[in-house]
Structure formats: structure tokens, C-alpha cells
């Protein structure tokens, strides 16, 4: 849970000055296939969500999300102190049990058939394989890092030799599917075909991330070289397999201009990345002393989605490679004083919540909104919403906010939408449906 919560809750302080001018770009074009491919719809599936939240891969089929997604980012793969991709059963560091060892019964399997003790691939990886069989246009990427697991990225990217070895290890483990043996599970090629590419979630090259994450001034040039190394090796492997389509390569990137400039040579990395997913949330978090928006579409003199898009465009990113991040959760404060609608007021701390103080899934916030205890407030100009009961405030995205955001994507020719995370949606996939319909112009 630490990998998801803290990874999305922490945004290091930097200048709040964001330029807001924006020039519309050409609308992204469709590329065919079984899905509506005009826009990317990228959802994060959390490895640990199968436990407390009991959100299984099969739930994406049950709630209708699987048929609306173009990409699933599996969160996360870790990087060892030696600068290698790895897995295993190491508490807090790797969970092979969830990934490919854990057997699922028929009720929790995509294909309705229970896993056996003899099959080499079980767990989430096997379920993702089954989901792809049901939806041939769906792609699955392994997302490397996240807030807590970016610790060793800087070391792995430090030299040409370390980059080459790191990339080789990731391709071997996830693309070739050569998993460590765990009883009957794993072995050479056990997960081959599960993953269609790699997502780099290094938080952050060249600037501070989690407390134990190493960063260096040279991370910017090393990240550029690392992206190139991934592109080169992925393309070479695709050619060796006579693969008709390339393996995809993406990255999760920050909103703050200071962090962009410290770690990202935008024009160069965008040549090798198929797309980037923009941080569109955690502009403010529940650890701050005053309530504030966490994901506004527009906000003068503050972080916003529009400001993030503009910052990347001004640095040379093509509009159709920018995929807008959207939260399927909210940030919350309690002990809010000062009256009014609660926004911008002092608070005593993060609000109590199901999984972590100050962080709540949309499905729980929807119940609060429907309870009659909270009032829904909207900043229609800014494009964000919040709930307030006089003491506790939650800032979040609901379907109405997402309709405004998908309209912005279409108007400005962006590449699509990304959401953290799929397990936070309602049981009927309300947010996923809103995004899908919005991108279709419905």
C-alpha cells in the first residue's frame, strides 16, 4: 500500500508559478484495432489491490472496464540495489505470490476456470493474459518504480554498462517472461506474451522523491540515455522475434516545471517514448495545513492540468503523446475551520479514511456524496469538485469533472487519459465509463 499511497500523496515543494497560455494542436488520429484507438485509455492495476480491496483482474471484466481500456499499467516492478529488475517474495520489496504464484478459483478467473497446481503461470500475470485473450486490442505494460520503488533508479541509469544490464534484466524478466522458479510456477518463458511494453515511473530523476531515493544532477542526461537504451533493446528484441508491432515504451512524468527541467530532456526523450502520462493529481495533498484542490483542470497561480500540459508543450512535447492523468481517489482534510465552502481553509490534519488517512477511493466518496451529509461544491471555471460537511473536506474527480477533462483532451488533441487506479472506481465502473464516453464525444 505504501507504494501506491505515498507515491501519489507526495509532491515536493517547488515554485507555484505556472504559465497558462495554451495553443491547440491537431486532434489525435485513430489507429484501428478492436478498441476505439483514437485516444489512449491507460489504467493502473495495483499488485496489492487483490488483498484488502479484493480487486481482481476479473473485476475489470465484471465492471465493463476491460472493454473500454487500451492499456493496463501493472504497478509496480522493482529495481534492486544492483540495478536489476527482479521479483520474489520479499516483504515490502517484491510479491511474486500476487504476480504469478497465487492460484485463483473459477469465480475469480477471467476465463471462469480455476488454476491448477501444475500450471507454470498463475496469479495476476495469468489473469492479465486471459484478459488480453478476451480483448485482443488491449495492451499491458509493466510499470517500473513508483514513489517507494524508485530508490535505485539513479544507480541503475548511472553508466552505459549499468543501463545496458538494467534494461537487459527488465526485458528478460517481463518481456521474455523468464520468471524465477517458485515450486511449479515460473521458469523460462512462463510469462512470455503477458507484457506488451514497459512504463518508466522514476520519481524523480534529478530531484527529490521518497526519503531513501537517490538522485543526482546527472540524472537528466542519464534518464535520456536510459530511455534510448530501452527503445534500442526493445526494438532489437521485437525484430529478433519477427514481431509485427513494436513493444511500447512510456513514462510517468511530473507537473512541476522545476522537476521537469531537473530531470527531463523533453525533446529527446519524446523521440523514443510512445507517450508520457502526465501527473494530473496530488497538486495539493492532505498533509498540507490548508485545504486545496488536488486535480483542477485550470487554476491561476497554482498547479493545474492545463498548466502541466502547457509546461510540456512549451518544452517540445508533441500534444498527441501527452496522456492526461486523472485521479480515481480523493485527498481529504478534517478539522476544517473558517466557514464557507471549506476550500482554502485551515485544517487540523488528514481526514480519516478506509486505507490511509487523507486518501479515499472514489467508490467511498460516491457514498458520501449520496449520503446527504456532505454538500458537493464545484468550481466550474477551474474544473474541479469537492465534498464538505462543515468539518471534513474531500477534493476529488467525479463524472462531471471527467467530462470537462475529456472535452479538454479532445479540444487540444492530446493523446488520451490515464487513471490511478482502477481498483478505486465504483463497482459498475462509473468513472471509466465517463472517461470512455467523454473521449468518444458522447
Q: Does residue 107 lie in a domain region?
A: yes
What pLDDT was estimated at residue 38?
87
CATH number of domain containing 163 = 3.20.20.80
Catalytic residue among 130, 203, 229, 360: 203
Q: Are 146 and 73 in contact (CB under 8 A)?
A: no
DSSP H helices in 246-346: 257-263, 266-272, 305-314
Whether 288 is catalytic: no
Helix (H/G/I), strand (E/B), else coil: 97: helix
Distances, alpha carbon 53 to alpha carbons 48, 147, 363, 394, in Å: 8, 20, 11, 20
Q: Does residue 122 lie in a domain region?
A: yes
Calpha distance 352→100 (Å, rounded): 34
What pLDDT was estimated at residue 283?
98
Q: Does residue 345 lie in a domain region?
A: no
- How many domains does the structure of the chain reveal? 1
Q: For the chain, which residues score pLDDT lower than 70?
A: 1-37
Structural domain including 273 reads: 2-328+398-439
Q: Does residue 356 lie in a domain region?
A: no
Which uninterrupted H or E stretch holds 133? helix 123-134
Nearest to 359 by CA among 410, 421, 401, 300: 421
Q: Does residue 336 lie in a domain region?
A: no
Q: Does residue 366 lie in a domain region?
A: no
Q: Does residue 346 lie in a domain region?
A: no
pTM here is: 0.92
Q: Are 331 and 358 in contact (CB under 8 A)?
A: yes
Q: Does residue 258 lie in a domain region?
A: yes
Calpha distance 266→260 (Å, rounded): 8
Amino acid at each position: 500500500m505504501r507504494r501506491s499511497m505515498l507515491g501519489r500523496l507526495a509532491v515536493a515543494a517547488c515554485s507555484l508559478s505556472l504559465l497558462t497560455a495554451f495553443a491547440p494542436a491537431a486532434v489525435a488520429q485513430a489507429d484501428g484495432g478492436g478498441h476505439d484507438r483514437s485516444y489512449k485509455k491507460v489504467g493502473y492495476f495495483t499488485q496489492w489491490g487483490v488483498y484488502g480491496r479484493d480487486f481482481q483482474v476479473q473485476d475489470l471484466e465484471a465492471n465493463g472496464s476491460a472493454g473500454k481500456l487500451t492499456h493496463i499499467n501493472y504497478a509496480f516492478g522493482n529495481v534492486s540495489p544492483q540495478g536489476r529488475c527482479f521479483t520474489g517474495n520479499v516483504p515490502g520489496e517484491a510479491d511474486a505470490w500476487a504476480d504469478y504464484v497465487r492460484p485463483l478459483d473459477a469465480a475469480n478467473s477471467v476465463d471462469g476456470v480455476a488454476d491448477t497446481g501444475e500450471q507454470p503461470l498463475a496469479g495476476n500475470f495469468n489473469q492479465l493474459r486471459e484478459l488480453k485473450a478476451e480483448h485482443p486490442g488491449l495492451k499491458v505494460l509493466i510499470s517500473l518504480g513508483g514513489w517507494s520503488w524508485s530508490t535505485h533508479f539513479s544507480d541503475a541509469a548511472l553508466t552505459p554498462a549499468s543501463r545496458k544490464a538494467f534494461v537487459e534484466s527488465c526485458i528478460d524478466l517481463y518481456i521474455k517472461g523468464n520468471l524465477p522458479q517458485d515450486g511449479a510456477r515460473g521458469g523460462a518463458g512462463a510469462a512470455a506474451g503477458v507484457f506488451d511494453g514497459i512504463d518508466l515511473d522514476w520519481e524523480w530523476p534529478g530531484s527529490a522523491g521518497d526519503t531513501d531515493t537517490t538522485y543526482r544532477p546527472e540524472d537528466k542526461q542519464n534518464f535520456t540515455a536510459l530511455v534510448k537504451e530501452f527503445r534500442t533493446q526493445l526494438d532489437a528484441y521485437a525484430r529478433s522475434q519477427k514481431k509485427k508491432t513494436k513493444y511500447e515504451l512510456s513514462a510517468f512524468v511530473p507537473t512541476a516545471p522545476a522537476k521537469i527541467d531537473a530531470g527531463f530532456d523533453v525533446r529527446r526523450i519524446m523521440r523514443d517514448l510512445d507517450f508520457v502520462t502526465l501527473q494530473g493529481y496530488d497538486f495539493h495533498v492532505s498533509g498540507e495545513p490548508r485545504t486545496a484542490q488536488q486535480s483542477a483542470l485550470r487554476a491561476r497561480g497554482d498547479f493545474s492540468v492545463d498548466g502541466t500540459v502547457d509546461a510540456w508543450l512549451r518544452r517540445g512535447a508533441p500534444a498527441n503523446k501527452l496522456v492526461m492523468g486523472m485521479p480515481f481517489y480523493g485527498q481529504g482534510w478534517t478539522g476544517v475551520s473558517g466557514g464557507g465552502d471549506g476550500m482554502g481553509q485551515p485544517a487540523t490534519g488528514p481526514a480519516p479514511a478506509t486505507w490511509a488517512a487523507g486518501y479515499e477511493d472514489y467508490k467511498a466518496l460516491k457514498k458520501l456524496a449520496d449520503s446527504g451529509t456532505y454538500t458537493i461544491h464545484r468550481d466550474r471555471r477551474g474544473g474541479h469538485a469537492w465534498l464538505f460537511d462543515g468539518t471534513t473536506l474531500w477534493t476529488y474527480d467525479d463524472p462531471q469533472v471527467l467530462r470537462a477533462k475529456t472535452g479538454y483532451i479532445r479540444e487540444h488533441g492530446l493523446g488520451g487519459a490515464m487513471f490511478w487506479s482502477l481498483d478505486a472506481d465504483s463497482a459498475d465502473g462509473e468513472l471509466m465509463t465517463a472517461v470512455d464516453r467523454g473521449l468518444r464525444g458522447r
